[in-house]
Amino acid sequence: MASISLSNVHKFYPNGYAAVRDVSLDIKDGEFMILLGPSGCGKSTTLRMIAGLETISKGDLHIGGARMNDIDPADRDVAIVFQNYALYPHMTVIDNLSFGLRLRGVGRAVIDQRVANIADMLGIGELLSRKPAQLSGGQRQRVALGRALVREPKAFLLDEPLSNLDAKLRSAMRTELIKLHRTLGTTIVHVTHDQVEAMTMGERICIMKDGVIVQVGAPMEVYRNPVNTFVAGFLASPPMNLLRSRLSAQSLSLGDTVLALPPALGQAFAAHAEREVIAGMRPEDFHLKADAAASTAPVKVHAVTTEVLGPEVILVATVSGEQGAEIHIRCPRDFRAKPGEIVIFHYDVSQLQLFDPETTYALKRPVQI
């Protein structure tokens, strides 16, 4: 078990491309850290630098307090699970599992014991004498995980290990991994671009974009206080609605709707009054009934279409007087609206987030967790 710390780490590929720039991240001993971001943002590159599969162009990497920049991957004592599993095709499952231990000269009896334990834990006992080609996707995933677990490394690096699984298996494995982390308590760095995985699995999320870290924090913290419109628009599905609007002393103009701000909020944003802002409104903060206690204000929208999901209905609509942007609103499961129908929602203004249209960063984060 060990902490992992990246300080001002850069990665320039031989073709000159800067895949990771000035990344600093402290992952605590035993922490479950998520690396989240769109495709090509440098998540795998970061993970591979931690594992030693890519050289670090600039900056420092410490694992368990020791500098690792120039340490051979074999000696870093971390385990990695790849998206495509990378099981050794010419070896049986049992040989795949025991390969690392055999290289380290661990005794036969100990190997057998550990392999049996892991096989039992992951339910792959029946598969031990098969070759990877004879396994299903889910079984391969378990074997790949087992191969990492059996070595009892200092840290697990998981590079989208669940992305090749079907939805049901993926959610089962998600739970499995969370439980595993709870029993073992080993540091885990989990790369994903699935924001459900990010929200549900990690203790902290590190959101990356174009090779830099945008925000690091606990899932709910990042969810409630996104630092900029990128994070706001990336997390959750449907994500936060982002609408151009105008801020006045005590109100916000959204199309032809004027939202009165509660005094505290008006005060907080006073410095930005009389300017264009981007209003961030979560889909679940629109209610069908007014709630005096929750400081709601009416918003008139034109329904465009509804997505009936079962437990809830997502209404896609435009704000009256602001035909350009579509917003998503989470509605109760029996809600229905015809296209073009006008619906009045009551928006919980206390949840409002405002962003600077030029820098895209949050003006002020008024919402506490």
Partner 1 sequence: MKRIAARVLPHIILCAFSLLILMPLLWILRVSFTDRLTAYKIPPEIGTVGLMNYVEIFARYPFTGWFLNSLIIALGATAIALPLATALAYAFARFNTGGTFLRLGVLASQMLPPIILVLPLFGMFLFAGLMQSHVGLIIAHLTISLPFLSWMLVSFFEGDVARLEEAARVDGATRWQAFRYIAVPVAAPGILAAGLLGFILSWNEFLFALVLSGPSSQTLPVGLAALETHAGVEIAPLAAATVVSLVPVFALLPFLRKHLIKGLSLGALK
Residues that bind partner 1 (CB under 8 A): 51-53, 72-74, 76, 78-80, 82, 84-90, 99-100, 103-104, 132-133, 140, 147, 151, 164
Binding partner of residue 132 among partner 1, Mg ion, ligand ATP, none, CB cut-off 5 to 8 Å per kind:
partner 1
Binding partner of residue 183 among Mg ion, partner 1, ligand ATP, none, CB cut-off 5 to 8 Å per kind:
none
Tell the smallest beta-carbon distance from residue 45 to Mg ion (Å): 8
Tell the smallest beta-carbon distance from residue 15 to ligand ATP (Å): 5
DSSP string, 22-64: EEEEEEPTT-EEEEE-STTSSHHHHHHHHHTSS--SEEEEEET
Tell which positions 174-203 bind ligand ATP, by CB under 6 A.
193
Which residue number, 88 or 344, has a Cβ lying nearer to partner 1? 88
Binding partner of residue 39 among partner 1, Mg ion, ligand ATP, none, CB cut-off 5 to 8 Å per kind:
ligand ATP
Chain residues that interact with Mg ion, rule: CB under 5 A: 44
Which residue, 204, 189, 192, 147, is CA-closest to 165?
A: 192
Binding partner of residue 89 among partner 1, ligand ATP, Mg ion, none, CB cut-off 5 to 8 Å per kind:
partner 1
Mapping DSSP to helix (H, G, I), strand (E, B) and coil, where does residue 283 land?
Answer: helix
* CA distances from residue 138 to 69, 142, 170, 234 in whole angstroms, order as listed: 34, 6, 9, 28
Stretch that binds ligand ATP, among 37-45, 88-96, 322-330, 338-346 (CB under 6 A): 37-45
Is 20 within 8 Å of 48 (Cβ atoms)?
no
φ, ψ at 45 (rounded to 5°): -60, -45
Tell the smallest beta-carbon distance from residue 176 to Mg ion (Å): 22
Burial-class residue 72 by CB neighbours within 10 Å (0-12, 13-18, 19+).
Answer: exposed
Mapping DSSP to helix (H, G, I), strand (E, B) and coil, where does residue 235 land?
Answer: coil
Rounded Cα distance, 166 and 137, in Å: 9
Instruction: Give me the residues that bind ligand ATP (CB under 6 A), please.
Output: 13, 15, 17, 19, 37, 39-45, 193
